[in-house]
Amino acid sequence: MQPFTLRRQKLLSALPDNSIALIASGHEQIRNRDTHYPFRPHSDFQYLTGFNEPDAVLALIKTNTMTCHLCLRPKDKEREIWDGLRLGIEAAPDALEMDSAHDINDLQSLLSEWLANKAYVFISFDESTTWIPRLLPIIQQLKRRVRQGISAPHQFSDLDKLLHEQRLIKDEAAQAGLRKAAKVTVSGHLAAMRTARSGIYEYELQASLEQTYKQLGSTHQAFSTIVAGGKNACILHYTENNQLLCNADLVLIDAGAEIDGYAGDCTNTFPISGRFSNEQGIIYDLVLAAQQAALATIKPGVNYDVPHKAAVKVIAQGLWSLGLINATSLDEIINNELYKPFYMHQTGHWLGCDVHDVGEYKINGSWRPLVEGMALTVEPGIYIAPDMQQVDVKWRGIGIRIEDSVLVTETGYECLTIGLPRTRDEIESWMQNR
């Protein structure tokens, strides 16, 4: 049985009786004039089906039985010549382990049939502007059939609450996908490190990294690649990647491959010359110590915010000791967030089908505890902007982030993005011997 089938069964089991859940793959989007962006299905749809075509809808129905139905594009010989092969209606039930498959052009009439005598309709409220105008006329028609013994749904519910909690705890297939994506991600970072030298452009490192992703089977980047040389690293989501790299620069690369619908995410910061300057090395060591402190806290039962607090404590102490923050105590720095001009983001996020994956971070207003099967990133950083007048000029323009992806295990964590040199000595040795 496919993992997608098991996931659908698990979700159906969580739905109330007499309910229907609707999940769409999405539509192709115009890039310019008559060309399209590369299509990627909505992550919820992909997670439940493994099917990658546009213009498809999954319907999960729970009455006295639990059934799965797919509406998709029919075979079309002429369009397939131009746009590529389609799975087709006849092949879909066996290929995707569905109870039935239908022409997407018949969706409206099928919805009239499927919604009859159902009490609850589950959709993603993020897509309510698409679904509600389509469903309300059907519900109104069903209500007019009450004398025929037909009832209409009386409640819309947000499917995200159930489905995203399910996605948050990674099953075996998801864990395998994340490991594969992480392995390819690390290979791309190493390729960029091998390419790096003074006098080339940021985009040349991006090209080496993304070429490696493609060669190893990645169909997409998990997000827009960040290659930030020198002061550009102080821009958290820098994606222009068009500046010349100089020998004195550090370069921060934040990138991830997507494999089989799962995202890799890793950040690596290293010197173009192969040698850190004194100031660069001091800040690098401080960020690495913060990451190691955060990682050391990760295990089941620990609240989500504990790794962040551990990283903040190390960074705050380090910046204070270096004289970059003026304060009378470490508590003052932390309580008043005096570190935030240098470290303004959280230490991580959930990871999965989306690079910033779904799932609540707090339950009833409190940070939730980590449990086995969760995947997250650990990514402290220090960014000393080039116009930060309150610090000595020798520190300005240094931006460093170190990020790894981890899976929470029964007793601690598994680092998924292993294989990169991480300590200062390891990086300098690797760069000198590449």
Q: Which residues are catalytic?
A: 34, 237, 254, 265, 345, 349, 356, 379, 383, 401, 403
What spatial distance separates the first Cα and last Cα of the chain, rounded to whole Å?
45
Tokens for 303? 């609240």
CB-based contacts of 157, cutoff 8 Å, min separation 6: 19, 120, 121, 122
**Which strand (E) or helix (H) includes residue 428?**
helix 424-433
DSSP class of 191: H
Nearest-Å Rg of the Cα atoms of the chain is 25
Kindly state the greatest CA–CA separation across the chain. 83
Tokens for 224? 């827009």
Nearest to 401 by CA among 343, 338, 341: 343
Tokens for 144? 């007019």
Three-state SS at 208: helix
Nearest to 163 by CA among 296, 1, 23: 23
d(Cα 307, Cα 413) in Å, to the nearest integer? 12
Burial of 301 (0-12, 13-18, 19+ CB in 10 A): exposed
Distances 414 to 71, 126, 131, 256, 378 between C-alpha atoms, Å: 39, 33, 40, 18, 12
- Measure the CA angle with vertex 70, ends 99 and 132; round to 5°: 130
CB-based contacts of 389, cutoff 8 Å, min separation 6: none
